[in-house]
Amino acid sequence: MKLLEVNNLKKIYSSRFGGNQVQALSNVTFSVEKGEYVAIMGESGSGKTTLLNILASLDKPTSGEILLQGKNIVAIKESEITAFRRENLGFVFQDFNLLDTFSLKDNIFLPLVLSRKSYGEMAKRLKPIAGKLGIENILEKFPYEVSGGQKQRAAVARALITDPQLILADEPTGALDSKSTDQLLKLFSEINNEGQTIVMVTHSTKAASHAGRVLFIKDGEVFHQLYRGSMSKEEMFEKISNTLTVITTGGAANE
């Protein structure tokens, strides 16, 4: 079942006086099945961050549509978009986006507070998530008191606590050391195995090798895609590396 459908997406940025135009996305079309784990890769300037921002409804395309469970999010009114985002999407960012003046628990609760959930409901939702992520003992600490890996696990908890249709992750391992990266990628795989749909933008071949499918963006279009199938992470890593080499050198991708 298709959870997300992206059809003929185009994004053109114009300068303030309309003199110069930059086409960030030219004709992007793909879909994501419910329960999939998809990584999006591409060189800097390829359009992948623009694509993620549009999927997150933080930016609007010049043309095209994005359907989340059949609802065209491009057409949602500005007055309703914040609530839609909060209720349907979970976000995990490279720089964590945690508020230093809030404890980790209060950071995690924030989207539910904005949705006016009761404290009892929030506490009930947090308990199993905190247990799964191994952060029960640090919930009262502040972001500046914990490690990068612990901050990112708190950010994942904040993304999960609304029970979103889709988690969007932007370079989630970018600010982590190798041990914390391994822990986060294992966590993403476990969350995905439990049925959570994840779309992740990443530069990291290692991170992408954990996904079930990798979309490669080049010059604002979907250039190629790889499906994991029965491949091991090591085999997937090699396939991704080869494809990135092809993109960089300007060749044609092979299956």
pLDDT of residue 207: 95
CATH number, residue 41? 3.40.50.300
Domain that holds residue 55: 2-249
Domain count, the chain: 1
Does 42 fall in a domain?
A: yes
Does 255 fall in a domain?
A: no
Does 254 fall in a domain?
A: no
Averaged pLDDT, 8-35: 87
Give the model confidence (pLDDT) of 105-133 as tens digits.
Answer: 999 999 999 888 999 999 999 999 999 88
Does 207 fall in a domain?
A: yes
pTM of the model: 0.90
Give the model confidence (pLDDT) of 132-167 as tens digits.
Answer: 888 999 999 999 999 999 999 999 999 999 999 999
pLDDT of residue 1: 80
Per residue, the 3-state secondary structure of the chain, as one string, reads CEEEEEEEEEEEEECCCCCCEEEEEEEEEEEEECCCEEEEECCCCCCHHHHHHHHCCCCCCCEEEEEECCEEHHHCCHHHHHHHHHHHEEEEECCCCCCCCCCHHHHHHHHHHHCCCCHHHHHHHHHHHHHHHCCHHHCCCCHHHCCHHHHHHHHHHHHHCCCCCEEEEECCCCCCCHHHHHHHHHHHHHHHHCCCEEEEECCCHHHHCCCCEEEEEECCEEEEEEECCCCCHHHHHHHHHHHHHHHHHCCCCCC
pLDDT of residue 231: 94
